[in-house]
């Protein structure tokens, strides 16, 4: 049973009040830059056990009578086909998915801004597609000198060239499919147009991490640094906040560095002699109350350390794939050491490596000299392992062993008849031309579902698959595409030693 370190209801109450209090400081409306993932925020749920990955949607539902939602997407990201790593989909498709997700939660979106638009052909096609769906599309142009020339930015040649988004509600939530989409610039452009119309609107930032009111080196904040190690972001004590109030607050380098310029732009928008007193620091701009939802500090500290170890494994894997650089891996390693964590602190690591050793002892040269192990830690702490064989991959074996344990099925009972496995292996080799006959995890799950039609034990095992959601797994090798896809669909948090197998190169 997972220990709880975060109280969703306490957090929702605090967060809702903080946003409404900020709106009250303005006469008309607040543009709220909504950072992070709207839905499925699994990083937050991993480092703050008890955090509901849908809690931001719940927050928006509580505010639904007072909000309008605007989605920003950078034209170049559309043109380049930029991918979101968590879902493996392009930013334009992620934008459409966000609209659908919000609709499922009873939240309507009919405003999308294409930012830094230069008449990119794919951006034009995306604009046309949105408009045919009844969504209003607005164009914001690239501004030369942004963000270092406030006089040019806050002018008819700057924000003045952007389409103005007409809104009616007091809270305008500005979100995006990913970073660099232009949320802040969209908020500031709207402030410019509003103030030209005599509307005293304001700006605030909502972002979960780093958490400003816990220590700089708290593992939760270090885990955020690890999650953004590829970007080079780092946390620091907000010097503007410390100077103004004499109190420490945690922020991150980009917001701190950009604050003087941002404040100059805001003051230029508002006009001379009108102080925006709430913006004496980048921390002042935020309305984040996640720190107040922490109810067991020891639990979240340990969970965050585990996430730091996961991130190190992930970056090392991506480095071996050629997707990441060595500096990122070293940065993640240093953060792991800083948190006084090590690879073996992940409970399923050593059992996976032991399973690979066992395979090497029992299978001789039967697997072309490649011996792989996998181990999964269940919610009750039980760890079950599996090793590769001529029948199935190590990940498949570990999953089969786990669901047999959960369904209380004796080891001697076979969930997959040999003829089912043989038929799939034959199809792979003779029809599809695969050099490997052993079943990856996706293939194993298909075979299991077939077996469940006639085998009550297999049927019970299939039902137990849901209990693997959120469990931890480690493998001694890089997962093949079928293993990776199966683990993601089961929502298992998996890591691997960055060792390729012969199967891996058949991608």
pTM over 0.85: yes
CB 375 within 8 A of CB 474: yes
* Rounded-to-integer distance, Cα 162 and Cα 137, Å: 12
**pLDDT score for 234:** 94
* Rounded-to-integer distance, Cα 432 and Cα 435, Å: 9
**pLDDT score for 506:** 40
**pLDDT score for 365:** 53
Domain 346-506 CATH (choose: 3.40.50.1820, 3.40.50.150, 3.40.140.40, 3.30.465.10): 3.40.140.40
CATH no. of 8-293:
3.10.630.10
* Rounded-to-integer distance, Cα 96 and Cα 90, Å: 10
**Which sequence spans correspond to the domains of the chain?**
8-293, 297-343, 346-506
User: Which region holds residue 108: left if phi is over 0, alpha if psi is between -120 and 50, else beta?
Assistant: beta
* Rounded-to-integer distance, Cα 76 and Cα 78, Å: 5
Q: Alpha carbon 242 to chain centroid distance?
A: 31
**pLDDT score for 33:** 96
pLDDT tens column, 5-35: 999 999 999 999 999 999 988 877 999 999 8
pLDDT in tens for each of the 507 residues of the chain? 678 999 999 999 999 999 999 998 887 799 999 988 888 889 999 999 999 999 999 999 999 999 999 999 999 999 999 877 666 689 999 999 999 999 999 999 999 999 999 999 999 999 999 999 999 999 999 998 888 889 999 999 999 999 999 999 999 999 999 888 999 999 999 999 999 998 889 999 999 999 999 999 999 999 999 999 988 889 999 999 999 999 999 999 999 999 998 888 988 888 765 555 468 999 999 999 999 999 999 999 999 999 999 999 999 999 999 989 999 999 999 999 999 999 999 999 999 999 999 988 877 554 556 789 999 999 999 999 999 988 889 999 999 999 999 999 998 888 887 777 777 777 666 666 566 668 899 999 998 998 898 899 999 999 999 999 999 999 999 999 999 999 999 999 999 998 876 554 444
């Amino acid at each position: 049973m997972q220990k709880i370190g975060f109280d969703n209801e306490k957090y929702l109450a605090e967060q809702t009040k903080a946003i409404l209090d900020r709106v009250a400081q303005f006469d008309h409306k607040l543009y709220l830059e909504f950072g992070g993932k709207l839905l499925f925020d699994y990083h937050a749920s991993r480092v703050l056990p008890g955090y509901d990955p849908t809690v931001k949607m719940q927050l928006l539902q509580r505010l639904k009578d007072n909000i309008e939602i605007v989605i920003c997407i950078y034209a170049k990201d559309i043109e380049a086909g930029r991918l979101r790593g968590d879902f493996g989909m392009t930013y334009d498709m992620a934008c459409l998915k966000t609209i659908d997700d919000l609709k499922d939660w009873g939240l309507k979106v009919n405003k999308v801004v294409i930012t830094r638009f230069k008449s990119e052909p794919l951006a034009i096609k995306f604009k046309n597609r949105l408009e045919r769906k009844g969504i209003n599309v607005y164009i914001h142009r690239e501004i030369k000198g942004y963000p270092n020339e406030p006089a040019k930015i806050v002018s008819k040649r700057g924000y003045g060239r952007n389409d103005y988004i007409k809104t009616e509600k007091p809270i305008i939530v500005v979100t995006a499919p990913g970073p660099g989409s232009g949320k802040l610039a969209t908020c500031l452009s709207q402030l410019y147009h509003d103030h030209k119309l005599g509307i005293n609107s304001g700006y605030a930032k909502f972002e979960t991490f780093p958490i400003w009111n816990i220590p700089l080196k708290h593992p939760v904040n270090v885990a955020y640094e690890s999650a953004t190690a590829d970007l080079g972001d780092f946390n620091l004590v907000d010097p503007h906040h410390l100077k103004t109030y004499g109190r420490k607050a945690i922020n991150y380098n980009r917001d701190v560095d950009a604050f003087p310029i941002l404040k100059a732009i805001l003051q230029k928008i508002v006009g001379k002699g009108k102080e925006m007193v709430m913006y004496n620091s980048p921390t002042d701009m935020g309305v984040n109350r996640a720190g107040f939802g922490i109810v067991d500090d020891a639990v979240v500290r340990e969970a965050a350390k585990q996430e730091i170890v996961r991130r190190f494994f992930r970056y090392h894997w991506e480095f071996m794939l050629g997707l990441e650089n060595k500096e990122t891996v070293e940065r993640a390693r240093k953060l792991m050491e800083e948190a006084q964590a090590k690879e073996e602190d992940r409970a399923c690591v050593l059992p996976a490596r032991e399973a690979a050793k066992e395979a090497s002892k029992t299978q001789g040269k039967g697997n072309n000299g490649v011996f792989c192990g996998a181990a999964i830690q269940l919610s009750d702490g039980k760890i079950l392992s599996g090793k590769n064989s001529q029948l199935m991959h190590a990940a498949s074996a570990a999953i089969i062993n786990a669901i047999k344990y959960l369904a209380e099925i004796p080891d001697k009972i076979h969930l997959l008849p040999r003829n089912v496995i043989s038929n799939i292996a034959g199809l792979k080799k003779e029809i599809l031309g695969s050099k490997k006959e052993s079943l990856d995890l996706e293939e194993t799950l298909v075979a299991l579902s077939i077996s469940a039609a006639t085998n009550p034990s297999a049927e019970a095992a299939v039902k137990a698959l849901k209990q693997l959601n959120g469990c931890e797994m480690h493998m001694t090798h890089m997962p093949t595409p079928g293993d990776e896809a199966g683990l993601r669909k089961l929502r298992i948090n998996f890591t691997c030693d960055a060792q390729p197998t012969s199967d891996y190169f058949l991608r």
